[in-house]
Structure 1
Amino acid sequence: MIYLVEHFYSIQGEGKYVGTPSLFFRFGGCNMRCEGFGCKEMANDGTVVVGCDTVYAVNKEHFLQNWVPVHKVEELLNVLSLYDLPEAVDIVLTGGEPLIYANDVLFVAFLEALVAKGHQITFETNGSLTVDFEKYPVYKECVFALSVKLFNSGESLNKRLRGDVIYNIAANAKDAFFKFSIDKESINIALEEEIQSVTMHSPQTKVYCMPVAGSKKELEENTQPLIEFCKAKGYNFSDRLHIRIWDANKGV
């Protein structure tokens, strides 16, 4: 079963295509929890859930009321008619982890319909789940933002770092780039080594570093130290415009 948590038309706030008008589909479910990021969200029952900045799209137990089951591809395609969109607007598929649905027939049909209409599709993925580019050629027409999780996520190394998956995606996708979430406490010599342990699996793929942030305050606290790190190491700094402008990561 595919679950859609939210959809919204905004600008891309992160990474290579920052500032680009984009229609976002946020799907529910993830193969990680990333509790190390320490972002907190209160569920309707008063429970405070800790995880990434979109924990409501990860934790089905406490946020099920936000998870809408999708039974037909038309239910997803009809979302486009709810907005006044430019022709062939960029589509961003995020989560959670959207690639948990990579082999779902309905999900693949959705991608094929979008590509047929001329949309560029960008997946925001943690880069740990494989994609069958031969069985489903539509993925070769997609862009992949590889937000591979680092030590600060709290996830184990063998779960968050899959070199074979990274290589497969970077070698077969229309475009791919690395996107790392970094807080000021994590900036040290070990961080550079850790990033290199990821990028070695696709050395020509560009690297974007963005501040860990669940709020504008946290974004500002982590921004300047990260900029200095990027300047020293030659990485691209990525702001998180949606948080800086709206102080939120939901539906903006």
Structure 2
Amino acid sequence: MKVLLAGETFAATTSVAIGGDVLTSATSTNGATTFNAALAAEGVAVTQIGGDRCAAEFPSDLDALAQYQAVVISDVGALTLLVTPEARAGRVGVNRLDLLKTYVEGGGGLMLAGGYMGFQGMFGTARFYDTPVEDVLPVRCLPYCDGMEVPQGLQASILQTSHPIFSGIDGPLPPILGMNKLEFRHDGSSRLLATCHHRGTDWPLLAVCNHGRGRTVAWTTDIGPHWLSQDFLEWPLYGKLMANMVRWLAGTE
């Protein structure tokens, strides 16, 4: 099966003052290297469009999306997908968030993953609240900063061990170091599979939904560092869990 991953690339520019001289360097990081390798080992082919390329290269029509059985959006904000080259030039064009909703309703699978630029985002800048993508998710975004850092670690509680996403997953999940705060849809449309308890509230960690002919997953923490701890990334079942998610999205579980 083929999966499209949008996002998970980061660029940083650093200036260092040494006496009267200032040296500037730039670095780039791909936060999905472990994810991509783990899915490849599970027989899932991942095509990644980094966040810096999404505005220009993310599919703008259903035919382009239809070659993928599942789409994963991770650490790239709604505006990056909305502001197409045509929009930036002041021309009317496609709304790619509407396109993703139509893709799901027609039978596609969509996963929105957490992070600083996931859901509403650590600083409220991811902005998936009140969008067509939110319409198809098993959770509702909060209309403000939703990220929380928990360096002491959060332990997941698995609520539905019989779900196909947990097939072959034995024992507790390793700790996570942060997540996005979201509201589960208690309207009968969705299933809450796992939560994390923090400061008196059980926050959704993993929720799923059948929408139209398609399926959606909300995974409210990272697919890589830093919210996924090194223990999680080195866990022998990490790849199995991630592959189970995309296989369920594609209906091939």
Normalised-by-shorter TM-score class:
0.3 to 0.5
